[in-house]
Amino acid sequence: MTTHDLLTQLGVHTSGDHIARSPIDGAEIGRVAYDDAKSVEKKIAASVEAFKTWRDVPAPKRGELVRLFGEELRANKDALGRLVTLEAGKILQEGLGEVQEMIDICDFAVGLSRQLYGLTIASERPGHRMMETWHPAGPVAVISAFNFPVAVWAWNAALALVCGDSVIWKPCEKTPLTALATQALFERAMTKFGAAPKNLSQVVLGLRDVGELLAKDARIPVVSATGSTRMGRELAPVVAARFGRSILELGGNNAMIVTPSAKLDLATRAILFAAVGTAGQRCTTLRRLFVHESIYDKLVPALKKAYAGLPIGSPLEKVTLVGPLIDKASFEGMQRALASAKDEGGAISGGGRALEDKFPDGFYIHPAIVEMPGQTKTVCHETFAPILYVMKYTDFDDVLARHNAVPQGLSSCIFTTDMQQAERFIAASGSDCGIANVNIGPSGAEIGGAFGGEKETGGGRESGSDSWKAYMRRQTATINYSDALPLAQGIEFAV
């Protein structure tokens, strides 16, 4: 099937001045038109109008729209998954996995649409009832990154929609086609549903300036932004200046501790998936590996051997496990990081360009293992590429401290069969990350839990648990059903 056929099946007709390219070989796969300030203004105004209708639709009915959208995703999982592979370069299994994640969050949101529970609170005043109610917040902006071009939107949108919000999506400029395809599928669901207001979900395309327009607009109470820490640092003050709420999902620098009691075969497999999967371009990619000195000479050579045999190639081919980096800038960033790690005393295996003859305009790389003398400046920085910094440790308290001594706080894990160490890792004085796993790698989270991290990762939470509350406004309502007017705190105010 050609890319054109795929886009047609998904309902996308591309035209415009901006070329969308595939990281697989740099070829053009479509063209899109960017929004400007005028069209963004129009879309925000339309989103406000859609919200005014949608907020009054009963939540379980809103859930029905999300259920229908989930059905569209099921019917088009292969096509959308393939488009994710073409546009973001992740292997087909991961492209399909990404669409499955969208389906999963739709299912979750449908159930949630009957569970947007508030509280009944004991009032200190006789004849009074107090309650807490959750109301729709307003238009929600979703700004997303290239590496999960559709799932991140779905995590936000499925919840926002059942919560009664309208949605405006600014996808990454590197992945506009998957956004248009998702929007087209959503519109099919809207048609089947029949009763949803026009412009309930819209896409705005463009560079960061388009994101900035959403960030500063006071009609948008919630801005969910996924991307680099640099982006979050710029966006958060803009949203805060108008007292908006941001949900920030920023960079990670995720680690694994492998203790002497670990099952090494399990740890090795987990390291491989977490460090080289998605060519090291997941926010949860494993970037720092702490290995106890007693097992270092067993684990690290085994890893190097496994790395040497990794199938690198087109992500459309079934055997491939490592696809391309997103672009040349990413490749250059990886080379810069490797050079500074070397200057800091790192011993590098791999890291060079691969398949240059076959794909002169695709940036394939040999994932790198870098043995570091310590946690240097370069190790503390997130380079969005498959570089695994490996460090030795002796003492458990010391490795816990080193584990937490980076600016980011997204995901973390320990491989151990020692119950005390496992429990200490997830205790209050253990990992300081939003995600902490035992005998599981740091990547590949399920949608049922709240997803996100601390420190420079931004503190936002999306997806499962009670993340939905961020898309609603909380109201405390007190009703007096008595004939008296008692005041709280027993205050007497005789008039």
Q: What is the set of active-site residues?
A: 249, 283
CB closer to ligand NAD out of 261 and 335: 335
Q: Cβ neighbours of residue 165 under 8 Å, at least 6 residues apart?
A: 51, 54, 55, 136, 137, 138, 139, 140, 222, 471
CB closer to ligand NAD out of 84 and 399: 84
- Total residues in contact with ligand NAD, by rule CB under 6 A: 29
Four-residue CA torsion sign, 262, 265, 271, 277: negative
Candidates 87, 101, 327, 382; binder of ligand NAD (CB under 6 A) is 382
Which stretch of DSSP H or E encloses residue 192?
helix 176-193
Q: Judged by CB under 6 A, does residue 231 bind ligand NAD?
A: yes
Q: Judged by CB under 6 A, does residue 454 bind ligand NAD?
A: no
Candidates 70, 211, 362, 430; binder of ligand NAD (CB under 6 A) is 211
Q: Judged by CB under 6 A, does residue 383 bind ligand NAD?
A: no
What are 76's two structure tokens?
């088009």
The Cα 135–Cα 449 span in angstroms is: 22
What Rg do the C-alpha atoms of the chain give, in angstroms? 24
Residue 224 CB, nearest approach to ligand NAD (Å): 10
CB closer to ligand NAD out of 173 and 418: 173
Q: Judged by CB under 6 A, does residue 278 bind ligand NAD?
A: no
Say what angle helices 77-88 and 3-10 make with each other, to 10 degrees: 130
Query: Using an 8 Å Cβ cutoff, are 141 and 214 in contact?
Result: yes
Candidates 92, 390, 410, 422; binder of ligand NAD (CB under 6 A) is 410
Say how many C-beta atoms besides its own lie within 10 A of residue 55's C-beta. Answer: 18
Q: Judged by CB under 6 A, does residue 422 bind ligand NAD?
A: no
Candidates 215, 286, 299, 413; binder of ligand NAD (CB under 6 A) is 215
Q: Fill in the amino acid letter for 206.
A: G
Phi first, then psi, for residue 192 (nearest 5°) are -65, -40
Contact window for ligand NAD (CB under 6 A) among 27-35, 38-46, 161-169, 244-252: 244-252
Candidates 54, 134, 146, 290; binder of ligand NAD (CB under 6 A) is 146
Residue 87 CB, nearest approach to ligand NAD (Å): 12
H-assigned helices in 344-415: 396-404
Q: Fill in the amino acid letter for 103.
A: I
Q: Fill in the amino acid letter for 397.
A: D
Four-residue CA torsion sign, 182, 72, 469, 46: positive
Say what angle helices 59-75 and 77-88 make with each other, to 10 degrees: 70
Contact window for ligand NAD (CB under 6 A) among 13-21, 106-114, 137-145, 387-395: 137-145
Candidates 251, 315, 367, 459; binder of ligand NAD (CB under 6 A) is 251
Q: Judged by CB under 6 A, does residue 337 bind ligand NAD?
A: no
CB closer to ligand NAD out of 384 and 468: 384
- Residues in touch with ligand NAD (CB under 6 A): 143-148, 170, 172-173, 207-208, 211-212, 215, 226-228, 231, 234-235, 249-252, 283, 382, 384, 410, 457
